[in-house]
């Protein structure tokens, strides 16, 4: 714990942590020392973790990287972090993210961007670690914690994992409780781990997952021991390569690593087949209607009355207006405007309702492809880490980062990103395995075989 705290302090220029909680951490580590000594160690006893600052932590400031949640100290602990504490984990501090998890580069954070510990060969350009879980991916990649919690609404676990050569799991919707996680888009949000390898990610997920009566969308289903699922190999598995994921203009290195991955699985006895998911092209437009719509509803609660920032005005409507204008950053404001627009009378049927119908078709298409194959293999992200500022002036360019990841959120199905190799500039690229709902075990088995 002390070594990780020191590393985190020494690497403060990466901006991965928004706050370290050394007193808490050392206190928890002492308890762990005692339990290890007296033989009562729990599954994660003494393991130092970083916590994305979207998870409410009791008595410890939680801001979701937004000015509007300034000084907010939750009076309760999120279920996922409680589960980790129950299992003996030690929390080092809270990790940076895009504001309210809206972003793919960690540049929308009120605390400034996180810096990817990876650099292009022979260059000093500061690169993005991906987002929104950029603090989590960086902290794990740079050894500033043993593993981290993260959340994935459209790719925020898998894309940052890909850009930092770490492993990230987005579980089935409902596998982990959303209770106590600051809400972005409730029908898409899922918590999951970012870790250094497939085994660590499996161990983390076992602890994080589980039914929770506080979250009506969490599923009442026993949690398997995911670590046990790793062995067994892929012999006899059928793995699909969706042809629509071969995008024009994608770096050839991604295609090469993708083929290499398929070959590796084939050599271990899997059958590789090409499959078609024709609705793939609608996933991104549907996501960027549904996610902002839900966000505009969820973020209505930040009105200057109940939480965080309040900009005073004698007129209450002016108080709301000023608080929200000052408290929310530009990307969040953009989402709230899009979301409010697509939900408004006269536009609801044309945008939101239609997007929901297409979403259902996408989910059905995913379910039907999994009648034929056990897993899908795709790239995690259409590019390697990009320079800070390179994509932040063009929102659509930024949204394209999520092209391979959003389908799993719309369908509620699980996905994992794992390191695939390096590109010509020495930057990591990721491969993604997708599985049917509650197919985490076969997905982990595939990932372990590929690792």
Total chain residues near ligand GLN (CB under 6 A): 13
Shortest-Cβ-distance residue relative to ligand GLN: 156
- Planar angle of CA 210, 216, 221, nearest 5 degrees: 35
Quickly list DSSP for 123-178: ----B---SSSHHHHHHHHTTSSSEEEEEESSSTTHHHHHHHT-EEEE--TTSS--
Among 50, 88, 117, 154, binds ligand GLN (CB under 6 A): 154
Cis amide bond preceding 117, omega within 30: no
Window contacting ligand GLN (CB under 6 A); options: 26-34, 43-51, 147-155, 273-281: 147-155
Per CB under 6 A, does 104 bind ligand GLN? yes
Per CB under 6 A, does 402 bind ligand GLN? yes
Between 408 and 429, name the residue whose CB sits nearer to ligand GLN. 408
Write out the binding residues for ligand GLN, residues 114-143 only, by CB under 6 A.
132
Closest approach of Cβ 373 to ligand GLN, in Å? 25
What pairing do the DSSP bridges indicate for beta strands 190-195 and 375-379? Answer: unpaired
Sheet holding 271-275, edge to edge: 17-20, 90-95, 48-52, 147-152, 190-195, 167-170, 415-422, 428-434, 375-379, 238-242, 271-275
Does the active-site annotation cover 187?
no
Backbone φ and ψ of 192, nearest 5°:
-170, 175
Closest approach of Cβ 389 to ligand GLN, in Å? 17
Closest approach of Cβ 286 to ligand GLN, in Å? 12
Catalytic residue from among 78, 105, 128, 156: 156
- Planar angle of CA 87, 93, 95, nearest 5 degrees: 110
Window contacting ligand GLN (CB under 6 A); options: 121-129, 154-162, 343-351, 384-392: 154-162
Among 80, 101, 169, 343, binds ligand GLN (CB under 6 A): 101
Whether residue 182 contacts residue 53, with contact meaning beta carbons closer than 8 Å, is answered with no
Whether residue 97 contacts residue 131, with contact meaning beta carbons closer than 8 Å, is answered with yes
Between 189 and 227, name the residue whose CB sits nearer to ligand GLN. 189
Residues 6+ apart with CB under 8 A from 273: 238, 239, 240, 241, 372, 373
* Three-state secondary-structure class, residue 402: helix
Between 83 and 132, name the residue whose CB sits nearer to ligand GLN. 132
Among 8, 92, 102, 205, binds ligand GLN (CB under 6 A): 102
Among 103, 171, 329, 412, binds ligand GLN (CB under 6 A): 103
Per CB under 6 A, does 152 bind ligand GLN? yes
Closest approach of Cβ 208 to ligand GLN, in Å? 17
Closest approach of Cβ 155 to ligand GLN, in Å? 5
Q: Is 112 left (phi over 0), alpha (psi -120 to 50) or beta?
A: left
Binding residues (CB under 6 A) for ligand GLN: these are: 101-104, 132, 152-156, 184, 291, 402
């Amino acid at each position: 714990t002390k070594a990780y705290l020191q590393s985190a302090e020494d690497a403060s220029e990466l901006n991965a942590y928004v706050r370290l909680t050394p007193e808490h951490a050392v206190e928890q580590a002492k308890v762990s020392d005692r339990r290890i000594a007296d033989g009562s160690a729990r599954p994660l006893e003494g393991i130092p973790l970083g916590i994305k600052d979207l998870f409410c932590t009791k008595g410890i400031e939680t801001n979701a990287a937004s000015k509007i949640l300034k000084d907010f100290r939750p009076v309760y602990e999120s279920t996922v972090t409680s589960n980790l504490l129950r299992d003996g984990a030690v929390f080092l501090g809270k990790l940076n993210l895009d504001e309210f998890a809206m972003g793919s580069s960690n540049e929308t954070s009120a605390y400034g961007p996180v810096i990817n510990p990876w650099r292009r060969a022979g260059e000093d350009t500061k690169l993005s670690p991906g987002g929104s879980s950029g603090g989590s991916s960086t902290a794990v990649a740079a050894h500033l914690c043993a593993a981290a919690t993260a959340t994935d609404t459209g790719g925020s676990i898998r894309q940052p994992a890909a850009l930092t050569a770490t492993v990230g799991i987005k579980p089935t919707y409902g596998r982990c409780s959303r209770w106590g996680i600051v809400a972005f888009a409730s029908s898409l949000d899922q918590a999951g781990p970012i870790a250094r390898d497939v085994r660590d990610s499996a161990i983390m997920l076992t602890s994080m997952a589980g039914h929770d009566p506080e979250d009506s969308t969490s599923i009442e289903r026993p949690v398997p021991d995911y670590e046990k699922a790793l062995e067994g190999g892929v012999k006899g598995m059928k793995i699909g390569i969706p042809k629509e994921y071969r995008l024009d203009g994608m770096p050839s290195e991604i295609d090469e690593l993708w083929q290499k991955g398929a070959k590796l699985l084939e050599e271990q006895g899997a059958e590789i087949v090409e499959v078609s998911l024709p609705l793939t092209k609608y996933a991104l437009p549907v996501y960027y209607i549904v996610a902002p719509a839900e966000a505009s509803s969820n973020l209505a609660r930040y009105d200057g009355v109940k939480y965080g920032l309040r900009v005073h005005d004698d007129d209450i409507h002016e108080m709301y207006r000023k608080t929200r204008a000052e408290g929310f950053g530009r990307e969040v404001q953009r989402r709230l405007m899009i979301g409010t627009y697509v939900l408004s009378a006269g536009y609801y049927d044309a945008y939101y309702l239609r997007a929901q119908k297409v979403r259902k078709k996408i989910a059905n298409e995913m379910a039907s492809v999994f009648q034929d194959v056990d897993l899908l293999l795709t790239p995690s992200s259409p590019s390697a880490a990009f320079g800070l500022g390179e994509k932040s002036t063009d929102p659509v360019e930024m949204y394209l980062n999520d092209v391979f990841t959003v389908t799993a959120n719309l369908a509620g199905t699980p996905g994992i990103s794992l390191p695939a190799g390096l590109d010509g500039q020495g930057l990591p690229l990721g491969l993604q395995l997708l599985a049917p709902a509650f197919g985490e075990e076969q997905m982990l088995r595939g990932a372990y075989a590929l690792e």
